[in-house]
Amino acid sequence: MQKLAYISADDRRQAFLDKDLKSYENGGIWTLDLSDPNSKPKQLMVKMKGAFHPHGIALRFEQQDGVQGKAIELYAVNHLDMQTHEIDVFSILPDGNLKLRRRIPFPELISPNDIAVVGKDRFFVSNDHGNPRHSVMEIVEDYAGLALSSLVYFDGEQGHTVIDGLRYTNGVTLSADQKTLFVAETTANQVSRYMKGQDMLSWHLIDTVYIPMAVDNLEWLDDQHLLTAGHPKVFEFTAHMHDESHLSPSQAFKIDVSGEKMQAESIYYDSGELISGTSVASMYEDQLLLGAVFEPFALRCAKPAEAEKQSVAVE
């Protein structure tokens, strides 16, 4: 049985440095079969018209008597340009390719980054800034460390800001029972845990765990542990953004969320020689899969000391 990893791919370096996303080719979605150690990434056909510059992605699964079944839809943050964004909902076809079902733009999408699906057409999205990309105030946010980013919720018809006053909101994920929400704050070097109130619009901060790096995406390892990857040296990462030859250290942490207080431990560190600027970590059996912001490949580690490059740009 295949165990697929879905990979969001785009020319992220040009997106950071160029104010006009319309000036270069669309990105894409790839899969990697983790059940086959010799598999190579496969680009999916995306059946849609217009610009497609995917960022965060999430899957919606079939539910059978409360048990999670196969993935039936893929949700993607799509940057049409630096000021215009939408959430694209794709049906996963029998051949694995993607067919657009719905485009969802709404005013609360200011600077969307990651997404967590709740149900059909219902999801959370992280705004990593409180101001549009490439704006003067976005630069001020970064250099002054202002807490202006937010987490928004789309209920199927409209958007709602549910948590604000965050610092560079990035990765977001829900527990399986959808009662606990986890949010990564990149420039605060922390992951925060929230408990659900009366509905999806009401969340209460429970605790935070400090992580000595700029945290990026969040992925579940099992029902008691999260994985996150990020940048232990932010200034090196910034230099890497402008110059691909400049190495940026990469690190991944495992976060234990089973207790009253979350605990984090480092499980991977690289000076940047194997992969620079990691942004996501996931694991299947004994394989650790690492993606980066700008690198044109993913890194699959079969064992702690062994790694294999896969030639595909990843988020």
DSSP states of 162-212 as a string?
EEEEESSEEEEEE-TTS-EEEEEETTTTEEEEEEE-SSTT-EEEEEEEE-S
Please count the residues of the chain.
315
Element (H, E) at 64: strand 54-64
The number of angstroms, rounded, from the C-alpha of 280 to the middle of its chain's C-alpha atoms is: 7
| Helix, strand, or coil (residue 207) | strand
Structure tokens at 154: 């789309």
Which residues lie below 8 Å from residue 33, measured CB to CB, with a gap of 6+? Answer: 2, 3, 4, 39, 42
Region at 168 (left for phi over 0; alpha for psi -120 to 50; beta for the rest): left
User: Among the CATH numbers 1.10.10.10, 3.40.50.1980, 2.40.10.500, 3.40.50.300, which is that of 107-210?
Assistant: 2.40.10.500
One-letter amino acid for residue 232 of the chain: P
Structure tokens at 11: 């020319």
pLDDT above 60: residue 310: no
CA distance 238 to 15: 14
pLDDT at 186: 97
Mean pLDDT of the 204-230 span: 97
pLDDT band at 228 (very low <50, low <70, confident <90, very high): very high
pLDDT at 9: 94
pLDDT above 50: residue 5: yes
pLDDT at 23: 73
Task: Give domain limits for the chain.
Answer: 1-105, 107-210, 219-315
pLDDT at 312: 42
Percent of the chain with pLDDT over 70: 94
pLDDT at 1: 61
| Helix, strand, or coil (residue 143) | helix
Q: Convert the pLDDT of each residue in 115-155 to its tens digit.
A: 999 999 999 999 999 998 878 888 888 888 889 999 999 99
Would you give the DSSP letter of residue 233?
-
**pTM, full prediction:** 0.93
Mean pLDDT of the 273-297 span: 94
Percent of the chain with pLDDT over 90: 77
pLDDT at 8: 96
Q: Convert the pLDDT of each residue in 262-282 to its tens digit.
A: 999 999 999 999 999 999 999
CA distance 49 to 42: 21
pLDDT above 80: residue 241: yes
pLDDT at 303: 57
Are 285 and 221 spatial neighbours (Cβ–Cβ below 8 Å)? no
